[in-house]
Chains A and B, each alone.
Chain A
Amino acid sequence: MSLFRVMRLKRFGTVVHCLWVHGLLAGVEALTLLSLIMVPFQPAYLTASPEGATLSDRAGMLASVEQVAHVLNRLTYGPHPEDIERVGKMGIKSFIEQQLHPESIPDAGVEQKLAGLETLKMTSSELASAYPPPQVIRQVQQRQREAMSRPDDPSSGEMMSKEGTAEAPPVPLRRGNPQRIEAAATEPARNPNMKLEGPREIVKELQQAKVIRAVYSERQLYEEMVDFWENHFNIFAGKGADRWLLTEYDRDIIRPNAMGKFKDLVEATAHSPAMLFYLDNWLSADPNGPHPKASKGRGNARNRPLGNRRYDPWGRPVPPSRIPSSPPAAAQNQGNPKRGLNENYARELMELHTLGVEGGYTQKDVTEVARCFTGWTILQPRQGGAFFFNERIHDKGVKAVLGHKIHAGGEKDAEEVIRILVRHPSTAHFIAKKLVTRFVSDDPPEALVGRVAATYLKTEGDIREMLRTIFYSPQFSSREAYRAKVKSPFELVVSAIRTSGGDTNASIPLLQFIARMGQPLFMYQAPTGYPDRASEWLNTGTLLTRMNFALAFAANRIPGTNVELSGLLGEVSPTQVDEVRTRLLNLYLLGTASDQTRAALSKAPLPPGTDNARIPDVSAPQATVSKALPVEIAGLILGSPEFQRR
């Protein structure tokens, strides 16, 4: 790891002290860095403020180092030790532009880190067949146990079919590595790649990938936007078939569109099996249907998701024997009940995805939108099936949505709805407000929201352009916005690793910390997604967990996640209390810790054997102390109020 240069800065002014803990810098480097700090920072974009904020308004603006820190804290998951210097050199504007164009940033490193997560590359149908639900796995294991315990079959491990004939090849069942077993179970039929971990493993790898990308990707802003849209178009991994569908949703629906046009995101999510399943639209049908098939109908009876068969919440057909006996009063209705309209997706599409709850729609609009979306369903959801428009269950009548008459016909009805919704000014405002809340403040300045909404309308919802409007606004660089956002648990964990230059494979203990702090990834049940507000994350229980995470992380007590504190200390001896403190404060808080935090750290009681006043003799046998001291200080700083903010 290259040496980290630390700076200490007096706020607001041009009087800057540079404290080089590591002695002299190379001349060129020093000059570059000094010029960054000494020259009043005047990015061109600040002078172009349309709202009359001028550069003489320095009091409300951030000083240069804070500017760099601020941009890094908002556009990335936390500055890597080299980032401050790097961004200082290249200039904030270049950095912003680079991040706005993720396709221009090479990112081979992160791909390498992800290589071991094989589910990421699999299609939903491959996942559905390779990771059957636990009951199927149990069935297989049961059969194998029976086969193994059979007295007339001393050759252990051989799979026996029901008839007792040995199946080849005989492979014992083991947990862990990919197993090749011959499934004697009826379902999934004879899949040689069946894994024993169950679908939980798919979600775990998805969670791991999210953490690994956030930690290692150079395309930091892009990863933030993926997170933003995944939360905006939230899907709960715990809902039935979605555990097999989310991988594709993340890879093929959200990621390709995260920096593009908002309309593409709405269209892609609307077509995605994961969303169709999560918000039940795959089940929604014209109550007056099913209609006779048109001449060139797609799909045969076996593939039709909506027939007379019954389905459980996982989209599996329910065998007749498992259907509970029906109430007597309903008996006459048995046999062929009509399927009908389901409003769930229609409502959330308007309330949460586009217009916002105050966007000006009525219950009538919800019903009409639901009618437009009838027939948008999934082919064989149980097998990870794809989008399928089933015209037989589509409501062919004329509909009226937000005052627009819709009779485009067939699949085009709902496409027309999406066009109407994404062009609506309420959508522009709703999306703008949510973006400003994410990147500026929990109380988004209305003036900026208005400008971002205007950008939305002008550029047909171009995400990159909306972000540009935000990043180059005076509100973004204002004093009020500095450290105004409280990190989500995910952001806290990733920033701790990044700022420390640590390493992680994002295995379960780390994921559990994120969950215990209140943000199990892909596991928010409601379609609202996690609220982006400090008050949502801060309460007594979760704040203590944050501190405990900080301590566990600094002490390398989280398996699979490592930080080399000695590397960060460089030549500073671990027993030099004051130096360690200064160095770590500069590293984690860029030297801009509050006076209170500095005071608290300097007064903080330290592990027995150390003494603030007396620097222990390095030559003395102080092994425990020298190990514990930086660990505890780092833990305190990572658990400090300042580090909870970005």
Chain B
Amino acid sequence: MTVTRRVFLKSTGLAAASLGTLTAMPKFLLRASALKDSTGTDAARHRKILIAIFQRGAADGLNIVVPFGERNYYQMRPTIAIPEPRKGDSATAIDLDGFFGLHPSLAPFKPLYDQGHLAILHAAGSPDNTRSHFDAQDFMESATPGVKSTPDGWLNRLMQAQPAAQSTPFRGIALSPQMPRSLYGPAPAVAITNLNDFGIRAGRFTDQMTEAFEMLYGNSAGDQVRSMGAESFEAVEFLKKMNPQQFQPENGAIYPNGPFGNALRQVAQLIKANVGLEVAFTDIGGWDHHAGEGNVQGQIANRLREFSEGLVALHIDLGDRMEDVVVLTMSEFGRTARENGNRGTDHGHANCMFVLGGPVKGGKLYARWPGLRNENLYEGRDLALTTDFRDVFGEVVDKHLGCKNLAKVFPGFNSSPANYRNFIRV
């Protein structure tokens, strides 16, 4: 990897120079540059943002968005099925449309769904039939199912394909200790777990030592470690200036305790601080329920509670800013339609995804439902796939972020608006 040290503009304004010719300027930027709002942050105010959430470990989509209208669902899951909705009984699925229902731990999602901010995709995922967590995550994050040699991640290619609205080291951010596969690649991205820890700490010598390390890692051509160090110091300097920590949760939003809530709270801070964030990524693990999965209570119920409370807190906290934000959730594959011998589920195939935000045509479940009768099952065991995850990603990339170079973002895949499920407003 060779990354040359980039010089980014010290101002938060529009980096027109990086946009090239006017014709290449994405539509949303043209609109944004025309709309100088009272805060003076102009383009930043209307920058389109994507927040990708990875549920690592293969979440059990059939117990998350429950097809309670399927008789066979209950046959196949004698002990872990979510009961069909019953008025006044909170230990049952939350009815969406008379056929599908939300797991009761997703109760916080229901108002967002009703208000049209939340859409659901089902029977979606990767066409590759691997049931290896590692491979399937790799395929979903590189967005090249079946191809292991893809060097970069889809979110990074997205940034490569689009000129930056503002030159900033915080255009792509992972709230995680490791850089996720989705953000691998030459476009600059930052992995961070705690904004407060982001900088050199040497007591009263902090400034001098920061400068000294900067020099040590300067002139980075050709060296992986040095270039990463150079990037780090650009980011430190920039973050110090933007001071996202000054922003507290608004509108009474309460994030759940734990790494997931912390990650989302900091995503919101970065958005409010206008650091130039366009792509954010974080993950939430603990979905690999081979044994003792639980139903309306238990392991999956606990994970879903944290999951929904986190996303809803983000939605509340960002308020009007959600107009420019799309949150997209994913998991490497679904789980077996039948429960296994240990009241759990094994590795399966298609899954459900959530899309949340102002640009979303919510209040609807988008699926060509393949059915759950035995003869409908993929390889005789899993929910079959009717929506390729790349068509979901692609629609967000195209219609929300305005990136038309889908061939770059999804190499080897024939992206076509004809395959979109059309959950994003035009």
Contact A542 B177 (CB under 8 A): yes
Nearest chain B CB to A489's CB is how many angstroms away? 10
Contact partner of A551 among B190, B209, B226, CB < 8 A?
B209
Contact partner of B228 among A536, A539, A606, CB < 8 A?
A539
**A363 to B290 CA separation, bound complex (whole angstroms):** 17
A596 interface residue, CB < 8 Å from B? yes
Contact partner of A542 among B133, B134, B191, CB < 8 A?
B191
- In the assembled complex, which residues on chain B have CB atoms less than 8 Å from the CB atom of A645? 225
**A363 to B215 CA separation, bound complex (whole angstroms):** 53
Contact A363 B79 (CB under 8 A): no
Find residues 588-642 in chain A having any chain B CB closer than 8 Å to their own CB: 596-597, 600-601, 603-608, 628, 632, 635-636, 639-641
For A350, the closest partner residue in chain B by CB is B132
**A536 to B205 CA separation, bound complex (whole angstroms):** 30
**A7 to B81 CA separation, bound complex (whole angstroms):** 70
- In the assembled complex, which residues on chain A have CB atoms less than 8 Å from the CB atom of B344? 280, 342
A135 interface residue, CB < 8 Å from B? no
B258 interface residue, CB < 8 Å from A? no
Query: If the complex has contacts A342-B346, A606-B208, are A544 and B236 also in contact, measured as CB distance less than 8 A?
Result: yes
A292 interface residue, CB < 8 Å from B? no
* B63-84 to A contact mask, C-beta < 8 Å, 1/0: 0000000000010011101111
Contact A343 B346 (CB under 8 A): yes
* B188-209 to A contact mask, C-beta < 8 Å, 1/0: 0011110001111110010011
Query: If the complex has contacts A329-B83, A525-B285, are A283 and B205 also in contact, measured as CB distance less than 8 A?
Result: no
B248 interface residue, CB < 8 Å from A? no
**A297 to B72 CA separation, bound complex (whole angstroms):** 39
Contact A324 B294 (CB under 8 A): yes
Contact B91 A325 (CB under 8 A): yes
B295 interface residue, CB < 8 Å from A? yes
Contact B193 A541 (CB under 8 A): yes
A644 interface residue, CB < 8 Å from B? yes
- In the assembled complex, which residues on chain A have CB atoms less than 8 Å from the CB atom of B252? none
Give the segment of A15-23, A246-254, A330-338 that binds chain B.
A330-338
Contact A337 B291 (CB under 8 A): no
**A549 to B12 CA separation, bound complex (whole angstroms):** 32
Give the segment of A145-153, A262-270, A305-313 that binds chain B.
A305-313
B379 interface residue, CB < 8 Å from A? yes
Query: If the complex has contacts A329-B83, A540-B231, are A636 and B212 also in contact, measured as CB distance less than 8 A?
Result: yes
**A516 to B259 CA separation, bound complex (whole angstroms):** 13
B8 interface residue, CB < 8 Å from A? no
Query: If the complex has contacts A312-B292, A632-B205, are A342 and B132 also in contact, measured as CB distance less than 8 A?
Result: no
Nearest chain A CB to B347's CB is how many angstroms away? 7
Nearest chain A CB to B97's CB is how many angstroms away? 19
- In the assembled complex, which residues on chain A have CB atoms less than 8 Å from the CB atom of B208? 605-608, 632
Contact A342 B190 (CB under 8 A): no
Query: If the complex has contacts A340-B342, A540-B190, are A327 and B132 also in contact, measured as CB distance less than 8 A?
Result: no
A287 interface residue, CB < 8 Å from B? yes
Give the segment of B112-120, B296-304, B412-420 that binds chain A.
B296-304
Give the segment of B38-46, B216-224, B360-368, B384-392 that binds chain A.
B216-224
Contact B178 A518 (CB under 8 A): yes
**A596 to B218 CA separation, bound complex (whole angstroms):** 9
Contact B192 A327 (CB under 8 A): no
Interface of chain B: mostly helix, strand, loop or mixed: loop
Find residues 115-136 in chain B having any chain A CB closer than 8 Å to their own CB: 129, 131-135
B273 interface residue, CB < 8 Å from A? no
Range class of the A interface residue count:
35 or more
- In the assembled complex, which residues on chain B have CB atoms less than 8 Å from the CB atom of A486? 224-225
**A608 to B203 CA separation, bound complex (whole angstroms):** 13
Contact B228 A543 (CB under 8 A): yes
Contact A333 B78 (CB under 8 A): yes
Contact B205 A351 (CB under 8 A): no
A534 interface residue, CB < 8 Å from B? yes
- In the assembled complex, which residues on chain A have CB atoms less than 8 Å from the CB atom of B179? 535-536, 538-539
Contact B200 A329 (CB under 8 A): no
Contact A357 B83 (CB under 8 A): no
- In the assembled complex, which residues on chain B have CB atoms less than 8 Å from the CB atom of A344? 290, 346
**A213 to B229 CA separation, bound complex (whole angstroms):** 30
- In the assembled complex, which residues on chain A have CB atoms less than 8 Å from the CB atom of B199? 544
Nearest chain A CB to B270's CB is how many angstroms away? 13
Contact A603 B215 (CB under 8 A): yes
**A330 to B285 CA separation, bound complex (whole angstroms):** 29
Find residues 62-110 in chain B having any chain A CB closer than 8 Å to their own CB: 74, 77-79, 81-84, 91
- In the assembled complex, which residues on chain A have CB atoms less than 8 Å from the CB atom of B295? 324, 326-327
- In the assembled complex, which residues on chain A have CB atoms less than 8 Å from the CB atom of B217? 641
B404 interface residue, CB < 8 Å from A? no
- In the assembled complex, which residues on chain A have CB atoms less than 8 Å from the CB atom of B177? 516, 518, 541-542
We find that the number of chain B residues with CB closer than 8 angstroms to chain A is 73
Contact A343 B347 (CB under 8 A): yes
Nearest chain A CB to B85's CB is how many angstroms away? 11
Contact B131 A363 (CB under 8 A): yes
B305 interface residue, CB < 8 Å from A? no
Contact A538 B209 (CB under 8 A): no
**A209 to B197 CA separation, bound complex (whole angstroms):** 28
For A536, the closest partner residue in chain B by CB is B178
**A541 to B310 CA separation, bound complex (whole angstroms):** 23
**A330 to B298 CA separation, bound complex (whole angstroms):** 17
For A280, the closest partner residue in chain B by CB is B290
- In the assembled complex, which residues on chain B have CB atoms less than 8 Å from the CB atom of A284? 341-342
Query: If the complex has contacts A341-B340, A604-B212, are A535 and B1 also in contact, measured as CB distance less than 8 A?
Result: yes
Contact A641 B229 (CB under 8 A): yes
Find residues 138-171 in chain A having any chain B CB closer than 8 Å to their own CB: none
* B152-187 to A contact mask, C-beta < 8 Å, 1/0: 000000000000000001000010011100001000
Contact partner of B341 among A340, A518, A632, CB < 8 A?
A340
B403 interface residue, CB < 8 Å from A? no
A399 interface residue, CB < 8 Å from B? no
B250 interface residue, CB < 8 Å from A? no
For A333, the closest partner residue in chain B by CB is B78
B247 interface residue, CB < 8 Å from A? no
- In the assembled complex, which residues on chain B have CB atoms less than 8 Å from the CB atom of A327? 74, 81-84, 295-296
Nearest chain B CB to A367's CB is how many angstroms away? 10
Contact A357 B134 (CB under 8 A): yes
**A385 to B82 CA separation, bound complex (whole angstroms):** 34
* A238-274 to B contact mask, C-beta < 8 Å, 1/0: 0000000000000000000000000000000000000
For B297, the closest partner residue in chain A by CB is A324
Find residues 341-370 in chain A having any chain B CB closer than 8 Å to their own CB: 341-344, 347, 351-352, 357, 363, 366
Nearest chain B CB to A573's CB is how many angstroms away? 20
- In the assembled complex, which residues on chain B have CB atoms less than 8 Å from the CB atom of A351? 132, 134
**A535 to B191 CA separation, bound complex (whole angstroms):** 12
Residue among B216, B226, B343 with max Cβ neighbours from chain A (10 Å): B216
**A436 to B341 CA separation, bound complex (whole angstroms):** 40
Contact partner of B201 among A352, A551, A600, A636, CB < 8 A?
A551
Contact partner of A596 among B74, B205, B219, B224, CB < 8 A?
B219
Contact partner of A605 among B178, B212, B224, CB < 8 A?
B212
A191 interface residue, CB < 8 Å from B? no
**A540 to B168 CA separation, bound complex (whole angstroms):** 14
B232 interface residue, CB < 8 Å from A? yes
A207 interface residue, CB < 8 Å from B? no
- In the assembled complex, which residues on chain A have CB atoms less than 8 Å from the CB atom of B191? 539-542
B211 interface residue, CB < 8 Å from A? yes
**A548 to B206 CA separation, bound complex (whole angstroms):** 10
Contact A543 B232 (CB under 8 A): yes
**A285 to B342 CA separation, bound complex (whole angstroms):** 9
Question: What are 10 of the A-B contact pairs (CB < 8 Å)?
Answer: A280-B344, A287-B341, A333-B78, A342-B344, A357-B132, A534-B225, A540-B191, A600-B215, A628-B205, A636-B209
Measured CB to CB, the residues of A under 8 A from B are 280, 283-285, 287, 310-313, 324-330, 333-334, 337-344, 347, 351-352, 357, 363, 366, 486, 516, 518, 525-526, 528, 534-536, 538-545, 547-548, 551-552, 555, 596-597, 600-601, 603-608, 628, 632, 635-636, 639-641, 644-645
- CB-based closest 6 A-B pairs: A340-B341, A333-B78, A329-B74, A339-B341, A327-B83, A604-B212
